[in-house]
């Protein structure tokens, strides 16, 4: 299983390394699984002009490079403009495309050109089968491996809902399908000048995604989510993250033993 985890945004070096060390410990405990550290150098789509965005490209990549070199963790971060792709590829092992930008052709082409794995987050406004066009843009532009991340679909105002059919649907054309358990409980713009969320439901949705057969899970986690500078309401408290991951890995093992290939079997009957 792939586990992508980290704080929403690079707030300060201390917080980044506290979370990264926790991810490293999980990697040591479960070496058969892939753990990737994630943090954004810039949150370009914050609700308010006054919201914290991050340290910027140069300083952000310096911090991510330190995490990678000191802890031996692969890292990922998102890009918002095509010119950022080449610079980010010097550090990141996986380049993430934000959900709001999943159809931006120039951005996808630039990410593909780096030769890195590209993880496209499915837009809240997208049907899962329509993500095949985004994947094709990357592949036809030279992308070698393309992941797609499910993060919920707009359901009325300030709410998201997850259709778990999207995971097997997108597995038909993506190399890996990841489930974003924390952004799926987000309430976009739900606090007026910021997004809300309800982290209570993260474990439930994560378990469902594992049961359905997701290849990976994505979490934002923080030592003190209520004090986090971005996405706090939907983030998992760091002190409970290790236990959560342990349970999900056990579930993954059970699901693999019981249901591997079941979808194909049913389809061929």
Give the pLDDT band (50/70/90) at residue 100.
very high
**Rounded distance, CA 244 to CA 194, Å?**
27
CB contact at 8 A, 79 and 92 = no
For the stretch 115-139, pLDDT in tens is: 999 999 999 999 999 999 999 999 9
pLDDT digits 0-9 by tens, 187-230:
988 788 888 889 999 999 999 999 999 999 999 999 999 999 99
User: Which parts of 100-172 fold into alpha helices (H)?
Assistant: 105-112, 131-140, 166-171
Domain assignment of residue 221, given as a range = 2-268
Predicted pLDDT of residue 261: 61
Total number of domains in the chain: 1
CA 78 remoteness from chain centre:
9
Q: Which of 97, 92, 116 is nearest to 108 (CA)?
A: 97
Spatial distance between the Cα atoms of 93 and 112, rounded to a whole number of angstroms: 13
Measured CA to CA, the distance from residue 164 to residue 152 in angstroms comes to 9
Contact 99, 121 (CB under 8 A): yes
Residue-wise pLDDT tens digits, 36-91: 999 999 999 888 898 999 999 999 999 999 999 999 999 999 999 999 999 999 99
CB-CB contact of 20 with 6 (8 Å): yes
What local confidence, expressed as pLDDT, does residue 80 receive? 98
Q: In the predicted model, is pLDDT for residue 103 greater than 90?
A: yes
Q: Is the pLDDT of residue 269 over 80?
A: no
Rounded CA-CA distance 121/36 in Å is 16
**CATH code for the domain in which residue 145 is found:** 3.20.20.70
């Amino acid at each position: 299983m792939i586990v992508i985890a980290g704080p929403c945004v690079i707030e300060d070096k201390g917080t980044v390394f506290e979370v990264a060390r926790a991810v490293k410990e999980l990697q040591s405990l479960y070496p058969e699984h892939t753990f990737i550290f994630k943090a954004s150098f810039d949150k370009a789509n914050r609700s308010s002009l006054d919201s914290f965005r991050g340290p910027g490209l140069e300083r952000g990549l310096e911090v991510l490079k330190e995490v990678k070199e000191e802890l031996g963790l692969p890292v990922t971060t998102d890009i918002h403009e095509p010119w950022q792709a080449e610079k980010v590829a010097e550090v990141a092992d996986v380049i993430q495309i934000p959900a709001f930008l999943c159809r931006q052709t120039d951005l996808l082409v630039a990410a593909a050109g780096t030769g890195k794995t590209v993880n496209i987050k499915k837009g809240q406004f997208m049907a899962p089968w329509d993500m095949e066009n985004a994947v094709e843009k990357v592949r036809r532009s030279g992308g070698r491996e393309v992941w797609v991340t499910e993060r919920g679909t707009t359901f009325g105002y300030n709410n998201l809902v997850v259709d778990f059919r999207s995971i097997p649907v997108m597995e038909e054309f993506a190399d890996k399908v990841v489930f974003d358990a924390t952004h799926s409980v987000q309430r976009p713009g739900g606090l007026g000048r910021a997004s809300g969320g309800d982290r209570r439901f993260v474990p439930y949705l994560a378990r469902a995604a594992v049961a359905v057969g997701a290849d990976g899970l994505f979490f934002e986690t923080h030592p003190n989510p209520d004090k986090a500078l971005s996405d706090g309401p939907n983030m998992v408290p760091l002190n409970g993250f290790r236990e959560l991951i342990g349970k999900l890995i056990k579930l993954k093992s059970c699901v693999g033993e019981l249901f591997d290939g079941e979808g194909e079997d049913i389809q061929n009957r």
